[in-house]
Structures are given as structure tokens and as C-alpha cells.
Amino acid sequence: MDHLTDGAGEGGAGARTTLAALLADPRFEVAPTADVLDLASDLPAGATVTVTTTPRRGVAATVAAAEALAARGFAAVPHLAARSLRDRAELAEHLDRLAAAGVREVFVVGGDAREAAGQLPDGLALLRVMEELGRRPPRVGVPSYPDGHHRIDDDVLWADLRVKQFHADYTVTQLCFDADLVGRFAREARARGIDLPVIAGVPGVVDAARLLRLSVRIGVADAARFARSHRGTAGSLLRPGRHTPDELVAGLAAGAAAGADLAGLHLYTFNQVAPTVRWLSRARRAAA
Ligand SMILES: NC(=O)C1=CN([C@@H]2O[C@H](COP(=O)(O)OP(=O)(O)OC[C@H]3O[C@@H](n4cnc5c(N)ncnc54)[C@H](O)[C@@H]3O)[C@@H](O)[C@H]2O)C=CC1
Ligand SMILES: Nc1nc(=O)c2c([nH]1)NC[C@@H]1CN(c3ccc(C(=O)N[C@@H](CCC(=O)O)C(=O)O)cc3)CN21
């Protein structure tokens, strides 16, 4: 599913068709905590499950979790963080283990480590080395930033994505609470000659206090505060209780029906898997 809008006209009916398509087969992101297999038992059989890398746990924990998820029949997608890897040999080892486990896709990020641990300074370096090693998995994703990045200039982000597109198969947008920004990003990517399918990254059903705390950690706190102050786009965000992505996803569907080229949905579950899966079932019924 590369284009959700095929056959969907503009306006309400198109947005509805697109909403159903968006909700049809989302990816689920989890962190590689000790209970990750228990959490995954709430996911649909065979779902695509992406596994984050944190500087604290390192890439090995992510690879081990991906192996275990693949053994349970999930389409596991480990995040490989360039700055958390020591050298090419360590990368080769991880890629061999993943291939042996039947993992066919990875998501390549620079990583949140302030300094590179070794020879790989950023995502592009990792992409190139995977190819030089002859160990590129069949499918590779990279992140992108509709709301900008708190430490990286927009010009650098766009220039990088332009080059990365020749090494990647799709991009997932960073956590962003404004559907219009995501739609605008998809249009601007096309205008800049970037043809990668754009998968919209949205938060799952997450306790609001937890969502704010994690937004601070990953550098999107300003966006989270902005969302709170603007009812309409993501008005439920950070009010006491739970954030649900209904408004955000409806906004994305409307944008896609009006021409923004979105290829699917990536749910940042922050390990709140069960409530996110329950929300998805409910949202699908409402959109059918
Ligand atoms: N969007 C997402 O889903 C995810 C994003 N991230 C984080 O987003 C950040 C960027 O990752 P990628 O997009 O893979 O970028 P990247 O590592 O490929 O870097 C993109 C460009 O920005 C430069 N750069 C990187 N960090 C910088 C810094 N602190 N200051 C100035 N320039 C810098 C790089 O040299 C490169 O030219 C990282 O912190 C990464 O961990 C991590 C996981 C998931
Ligand atoms: N800069 C950046 N780094 C990331 O790692 C990242 C992004 N952006 N954007 C989107 C997602 C969100 N990410 C996250 C962040 C935290 C948890 C999380 O659940 N953290 C747990 C602890 C996990 C652990 O113990 O390893 C927590 O309670 O903080 C999950 C995914 C990963 N991704």
C-alpha cells in the first residue's frame, strides 16, 4: 500500500475511505523492555513491530528483542542507531544475526547518543556501510521531521533525506501532533524531488503525563506544548488522562484525501500496547 488516496475523491467520502485505509495495517513501535514479548501478545498475529534503540540499552538489546519477536511470527523491524555502534564488524554481526532470524527490514537512525561510539557518525554512514558490507536487508526505513529537529537545521535534514532516499525504501515521520504539518511535509518532500513513501508516525493511546515526559526526552516537547494550547488538532493531548490519536488520525486522513501522499501509519505505542490495540479496533469499526 504505497498510496492511500487511489480511487478516493476529495471531501468527506474520500476522507472516510482514506481513514479506513490508514487504519488497515499500521506498524507498532515498542521499546525492548524485559516484558516486550508479553506486550506483543496483545498485537494482531503477524503484525509489523518496530523495536527502538536507546543509548542506555544499546543495539544488542534491540537485535535480541527483534529475534524473539520474529520467532513469534511478527515482522520485526529493529532500529539500528549509528552512534551506538562501535564499528563495521559490530554492525555486520548484528545484520548476520538478524538475517538468520528471518528479519528482512531495519530502520536506520543516527541515534540519541551525543557522541558517536565509533566509526558511524550518522544514519547515512550506516546506510552506506550496510551496502558496502553486502548485508543490506531487503527493506530499509529512515526517519523524517515534519516539525523540524531541535538540534538539526531544516536545510541539513532536507539535504540528508534527499541522499538517504537512494538507500532507503520509506520514511517514518517523527512524533508530531499537527496533522497539517505532516501533510505539508509530504507535499514539500515531493516538491523537493523526494519520492520515498511517507508513513505518518503518531502516538498511540498513552497516559498524558508519560507522553509529555517522553516527548521531552526525544526532543519534541515544544511540539507537545503547542498541541496542548491548540484545541482542534490534538486538543486531548496533555489534558489529564489519556491521549488518544483520533483527531490526529482523522486530520491525516483528510489531508491524504486532499492530496497529501501518505503511505500508512506508524503507531508510537510507548509500550502501552494493549490500550493502543483496543483503540485501533474501535477506530476501525467507526471508520468502516
Ligand atoms: N524520527 C524517529 O523516529 C527517530 C528519531 N531519532 C533521533 O533523531 C535524531 C536524528 O536522527 P537521524 O534522522 O537518523 O539523523 P542522522 O544521524 O542521519 O543525522 C542527520 C543529519 O544531521 C546531522 N546531525 C545529527 N545529529 C546532530 C546534532 N546533534 N547537531 C547537529 N547536526 C546533527 C548529521 O550529521 C546529519 O547530517 C537522532 O537524535 C535520532 O536518534 C531516533 C529514533 C527514531
Ligand atoms: N530522538 C528520538 N529518539 C527516539 O528514540 C525516538 C524518537 N526520537 N522518536 C520516536 C520514537 C519514540 N521513541 C521511544 C521513546 C521512549 C520509549 C519508552 O517506552 N521508554 C521507556 C523506557 C524504555 C526502556 O527502558 O528502554 C520509558 O519509560 O521511558 C519508547 C519509544 C523512540 N523514538
For the stretch 237-282, pLDDT in tens is 555 677 889 999 999 999 999 999 999 999 999 999 999 999 999 9
Nearest to 273 by CA among 62, 106, 70, 29: 29
At position 223, the amino acid (one-letter code) is A
User: What does R_g of the chain's alpha carbons equal in angstroms?
Assistant: 18
Q: What pTM was computed for the model?
A: 0.93
Contact 10, 257 (CB under 8 A): yes
Ligand nearest the Cα of residue 142 is 1
Within 6 A (CB) of ligand 2 lie 31, 33, 52, 54, 57, 112, 174-175, 214, 218-219, 268, 270-271
pLDDT of residue 240: 63
* pLDDT score, position 9: 45
State the ligand closest to the CA atom of 113. Answer: 1
Any atom of ligand 1 within 6 Å of the Cβ of 169: no
What separation in Å is there between the alpha carbon of 109 and the centre of ligand 1?
7
Q: State the closest ligand 1 atom to the C-alpha of 159, by its place in the atom list counted from 1.
A: 37
d(CA 218, ligand 1 centre) in Å: 11
Q: Which of 51, 122, 175 to mutate to test the pocket of ligand 1 (most atoms within 8 A of CB)?
A: 122
Q: Which atom of ligand 1 is nearest to the CA of 142?
A: 14
Q: Write out pLDDT tens, residues 23-32.
A: 999 999 999 9
- State the pLDDT at residue 232: 44
pLDDT of residue 230: 56
Angle, alpha carbons 30-36-38 (nearest 5°): 130
Burial class (CB in 10 A: 0-12, 13-18, 19+), 165: middle
Main-chain dihedrals φ then ψ at residue 109, nearest 5 degrees: -125, 160
Rounded Cα distance between 218 and 160, Å, is 20
| Substitution site in 112, 152, 267, 269 for ligand 1 pocket (most atoms within 8 Å of beta carbon) | 152
pLDDT of residue 237: 54
Answer yes or no: are the C-beta atoms of 267 and 23 closer than 8 Å. no
**Residues of the chain falling short of pLDDT 70:** 1-3, 5-12, 226-240
Q: Which ligand is nearest to the CA of 125?
A: 1
The residue among 201, 197, 185, 192 whose CA lies nearest residue 163 is 192
Of 203, 183, 201, residue with least CA distance to 245: 203
How far apart, in whole angstroms, are the C-alpha atoms of residue 253 and residue 1? 15
Displacement of CA 237 from its chain's centroid (Å): 19
For the CA of 145, the nearest ligand = 1
Q: Compute the distance from residue 17 Cα to the ligand 1 centre, in Å.
A: 34
Q: Cell triple for residue 54?
A: 536507546
**Long-range contacts formed by 132-137: CB under 8 A, 24+ apart:** 133/88, 133/91, 133/92, 133/95, 135/92, 135/95, 135/96, 135/99, 137/95, 137/98, 137/99, 137/103, 137/104, 137/105, 137/106
- Give the model's pLDDT for residue 2: 56
* pLDDT at res. 37: 98
Q: What is the pLDDT of residue 56?
A: 93
Rounded-to-integer distance, Cα 192 and Cα 188, Å = 6
Q: How far apart are CA 283 and CA 288, in angstroms?
A: 9
pLDDT at residue 5, rounded to an integer: 58
Residues 6+ apart with CB under 8 A from 258: 10, 14, 183
How buried is residue 131: exposed, middle or buried, by Cβ count under 10 Å (0-12/13-18/19+)?
Answer: exposed
Q: For residue 42, report the distance from its CA to the centre of ligand 1, in Å.
A: 31
pLDDT at residue 222 in the model: 79
